[in-house]
């Protein structure tokens, strides 16, 4: 069951070009939604203004080698290892969700564009990776949703309490969950496969189409902010600022922006 390409089975009643067009549209929705979010919230303006002010306070120049080192450190620590999370449980949950979803998305694109029909059988490893990526995403995501969220872990609220800040993680979990269930039902030739596929498309469209109102675009902001912070520390521009408080992550805070991915 986990070795069968579910998207190839779709080609019997959905033209390949429609599946591929849908993915292209989702990519444009991500790009357009992120751009809209940057313009609407003036994130880029704030970022470059802060960068300019930091340059004015700098006490030393950063050479090309040092700059390359800072880029690598940011990529490894903040991006690949989720170093911005002080709490280990949150970091592990984030890493599982991030890498699982990355594998899930990449294999989806490969399966739909390179092996869209039974006439072009995919290597067995690709459907396996698609399923594994989805399952890892759900492990990290549901762990975060039911046990790690601030309002659940520290404030005692019900895990089923939903606010707008939950849109990204909730739509992600619904989309991947329905995708895996649809795949299993379709392979088993169940009568519910068409309905499940429709719900899968709806939830996926919500996931990628709600970027201006969800936390999705934050994955693009965080590396830039982390890189800017490292540069400010390296060129001395932070020396004129108060030292950051050295304290553990506060789980009792009601600030929703610190609770989600």
Q: How far apart are CA 256 and CA 164, in angstroms?
A: 10
Give the CA distances from residue 12 to residues 2, 170, 202, 250, in Å, rounded to whole numbers and listed in that order.
Answer: 20, 31, 21, 53
Domain of 180? 6-38+83-230
What is the percentage of the chain residues whose pLDDT exceeds 90?
38
Q: How far apart are CA 91 and CA 55, in angstroms?
A: 31
Give the CA distances from residue 190 to residues 102, 113, 130, 183, in Å, rounded to whole numbers and listed in that order.
Answer: 28, 25, 20, 10
Position 249 pLDDT exceeds 60: no
Q: What is the pLDDT of the chain when averaged over all its residues?
A: 80
CATH code, domain with 209: 1.20.950
| Whether 94 contacts 261, CB under 8 Å | yes
Whether residue 245 is contained in a domain is answered as: no
Q: Which residue did the predictor score with more confidence, 80 or 194?
A: 194
Whether residue 71 is contained in a domain is answered as: no
Give the single-character DSSP code of 247: -
Chain mean position to CA 237: 31
Q: Which residue did the predictor score with more confidence, 227 or 194?
A: 194
Question: How does residue 254 score in pLDDT terms, banded at 50, 70 and 90?
Answer: very low
By three-state DSSP, how is residue 209 classified? helix
Whether residue 240 is contained in a domain is answered as: no
Number of domains within the chain: 1
Q: How far apart are CA 27 and CA 6, in angstroms?
A: 21
Give the CA distances from residue 80 to residues 101, 155, 188, in Å, rounded to whole numbers and listed in that order.
Answer: 14, 30, 37
pLDDT digits over 79-122, tens only? 777 766 677 888 899 899 999 999 999 999 999 999 999 999 99
Whether residue 63 is contained in a domain is answered as: no
What is the percentage of the chain residues whose pLDDT exceeds 70?
77
Whether residue 73 is contained in a domain is answered as: no
Whether residue 111 is contained in a domain is answered as: yes
Most confident of 10-19, 48-57, 250-259: 10-19
* pTM of the full structure: 0.77
Q: What is the pLDDT of residue 152?
A: 60
By three-state DSSP, how is residue 100 classified? helix
Choice among 32-36, 73-77, 133-137, 202-206 with the minimum mean pLDDT: 73-77
Whether residue 236 is contained in a domain is answered as: no
Q: What is the pLDDT of residue 12?
A: 84
| Whether 117 contacts 189, CB under 8 Å | no
Query: Checking phi first, is residue 249 left (phi over 0); if not, alpha (psi -120 to 50) or beta?
Result: beta
Whether residue 97 is contained in a domain is answered as: yes
Structure token digits, residue 80: 């690949």
Question: How does residue 238 score in pLDDT terms, banded at 50, 70 and 90?
Answer: low
């Amino acid at each position: 069951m986990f070795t069968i390409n579910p998207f190839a089975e779709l080609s019997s009643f959905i033209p390949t070009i429609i599946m591929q067009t849908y993915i292209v549209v989702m990519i444009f929705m991500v790009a357009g939604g992120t751009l809209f979010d940057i313009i609407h919230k003036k994130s880029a303006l704030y970022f470059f203004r802060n960068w300019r002010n930091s340059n004015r306070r700098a006490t030393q120049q950063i050479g090309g080698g040092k700059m390359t080192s800072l880029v690598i450190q940011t990529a490894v620590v903040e991006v690949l290892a989720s170093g911005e999370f002080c709490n280990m449980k949150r970091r592990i949950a984030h890493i599982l969700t991030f890498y699982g979803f990355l594998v899930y998305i990449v294999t989806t694109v490969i399966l739909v564009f390179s092996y869209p029909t039974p006439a072009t059988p995919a290597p067995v490893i690709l459907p396996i990776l698609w399923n594994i990526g989805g399952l890892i995403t759900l492990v990290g995501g549901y762990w975060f949703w039911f046990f790690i969220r601030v309002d659940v872990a520290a404030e005692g609220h019900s895990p089923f309490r939903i606010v707008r800040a939950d849109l990204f993680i909730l739509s992600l979990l619904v989309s991947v969950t329905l995708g895996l269930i649809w795949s299993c039902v379709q392979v088993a030739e169940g009568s519910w496969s068409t309905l499940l596929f429709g719900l899968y498309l709806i939830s996926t469209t919500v996931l990628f189409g709600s970027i201006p109102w969800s936390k999705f675009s934050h994955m693009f902001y965080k590396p830039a902010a982390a890189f800017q912070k490292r540069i400010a520390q390296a060129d001395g521009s932070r020396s004129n600022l108060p030292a950051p408080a050295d304290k553990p992550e506060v789980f009792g805070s009601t600030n929703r922006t610190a609770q989600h991915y």
